[in-house]
Amino acid sequence: MESTALITNDAVTLGLLAATLGAIFWTASRPSGFWHRFYTYVPAILPCYLLPAIYNSVGLIDGAASGLYPMARDYLLPSALILFCVAMDIGAIARLGPKAMIMFLVGTFGVMLGAIVSFSVMGAVSPDTVGGETWRGMTTMAGSWIGGGANQAAMKEVFEVDATLFGQFVAVDVLVGYFWMAALLLMASRADSFDRWTGADTSAIEDLKQRIATYQAEHARIPSMADMMAILALAIGGTGLAHALAGPLVAWITSLPAELRLQDYSLDSGFFWIVIFATTLGVVLSLTRARSLEGAGASKVGSVFLYILIATIGMQMDLRSLADKPMLLLLGLIWISVHAALMLGVAKLIRAPLFFMAVGSQANIGGAASAPVVATAFHPALAPVGVLLAVFGYALGTYCAYLTGLMLQAMAT
């Protein structure tokens, strides 16, 4: 189907996104006046995400037809992960403790519980909405919200979801999931207030951020051309290496006997392995002299890549489709509300910092493509934590979504 958007050329679209990001960060840097007051309440990362969504919704661009998001996901995200990990302090991350994993697992349970609660509530409010085969479509969203796209596709095949129903739940997944991500980004700017409410001990997180800041200050220098080329070599070259290793590995895994069921762990997903290899390479490089490139701005270059990814994520959202299937959207909102309420309650109970709650949630709902985005809203040094949790989501996604599907099927019959 031919796009009806005003701008259909990806080069022009990329230029628009770059100009938008430039305008946002220029206004965010104003020391006083309206924009200073505006960004006191709205984190700069939020309009980076929402303005492209508006462009897509009003028909200026066509996010679905654009190749920019796959490009940013497959090339810029791994590059950003390498550059963020180069600057990481492995010991300090290890000292963050078990609460991050606890919140991630609570998030997984919250998705499963939310499916059951939303199905029950909608059964009472609007029986037609959850009648027929709707439960099958919900299994695909459970797969996406616990793991990612590979798990979502697996549920489509396992439960034989009709293509039309699958498309409807993809829309609900994108709209509700991205709105929740926007809410988390907004909450990140209020982290201090949240942490006072929960009584959280954020000393380990602050220690990590301080270590990174101190390291940057001690090694900061005006980057030379050699520095910038070395940073690009690590980022783009490392991403190329990750792709080179992932391709043959996935081909070998898919050639193995089906009885091994490695697909249940998303091990046949190329993107899964690209993220794994890129993150591992960055961690290894952090133990070498390559870490000194952080003084030349390695993580800042990574942030540029990441913000381009954020803009391309935003352009996937079409706000107009909110009116297409309002009751399915209500189901999705109830679903995510259960997840959110459980996360908030447990965070208060165990006194977990907002960072753990937000990243644990997004590692489930958004996966490896967006968990680092939420983590970076707190500090670039924390991006690897989001990646590591998202990887666990890939492993759990198929099993937990399948179990959720069985429970929904029992409720529907």
Q: What pLDDT is recorded for position 82?
A: 87
The angle subtended at Cα 305 by Cα 35 and Cα 104, nearest 5°, is 90
Q: What pLDDT is recorded for position 17?
A: 96
Query: What pLDDT, in 10s, does the model give residues 41-66?
Result: 777 777 888 899 889 888 899 888 89
Query: What pLDDT, in 10s, does the model give residues 178-227?
Result: 889 888 888 888 888 999 998 988 887 888 777 777 777 777 788 899 99
- Average pLDDT for 10-24: 96
Tokens of 292: 């000194």
Higher per-residue pLDDT: 24 or 373: 24
Residues 6+ apart with CB under 8 A from 364: 104, 107, 108, 110, 111, 145, 146, 339, 393
Q: Give the CA count within 13 Å in the CB-facing half-sphere of 255.
A: 6
Contact call for residues 272 and 150 (beta carbons, < 8 A): yes
- Average pLDDT for 69-97: 79
Q: What pLDDT is recorded for position 217?
A: 75
Mean of the per-residue pLDDT values of the chain? 84
Domain contains 52: no
Domain contains 27: no
Contact call for residues 407 and 276 (beta carbons, < 8 A): no
- Average pLDDT for 139-148: 85
Measured between alpha carbons, how far is 145 from 158 in angstroms, rounded to an integer? 17
Enclosing domain of residue 92: 68-299+324-412
Total domains in the chain come to 1
Domain contains 373: yes
pLDDT above 70 for 390: yes
Domain contains 215: yes
Domain contains 333: yes
% of residues, the chain, pLDDT over 90: 28
Confidence at 375, pLDDT banded by 50, 70, 90: confident
What is the value of pTM for the model shown? 0.70
Higher per-residue pLDDT: 52 or 161: 52
Tokens of 17: 């996104």
Measured between alpha carbons, how far is 234 from 299 in angstroms, rounded to an integer? 12
Domain contains 259: yes
Confidence at 319, pLDDT banded by 50, 70, 90: low
- Average pLDDT for 297-325: 78
pLDDT above 80 for 411: yes
pLDDT above 90 for 314: no
Residue 32, class by beta-carbon neighbours within 10 Å (0-12 exposed, 13-18 middle, 19+ buried)? exposed
Q: What pLDDT is recorded for position 150?
A: 59
What Å distances lie between residue 332 and 62, 119, 171, 339, CA to CA? 24, 10, 10, 11
Domain contains 355: yes
Confidence at 3, pLDDT banded by 50, 70, 90: low
Domain contains 117: yes
Q: What pLDDT is recorded for position 368?
A: 67
The angle subtended at Cα 244 by Cα 231 and Cα 391, nearest 5°, is 80
Query: What pLDDT, in 10s, does the model give residues 229-269?
Result: 999 999 999 999 999 999 999 888 888 876 665 555 556 77
For 35-54, b where at least 16 C-beta lie within 10 A, e where not — what string?
eeeebeeebbbbbbbbbbbe
Query: What pLDDT, in 10s, does the model give residues 78-90?
Result: 898 788 778 766 6
- Average pLDDT for 280-296: 86
Considering only CA atoms, give the Rg of the chain: 21
Q: What pLDDT is recorded for position 334?
A: 94
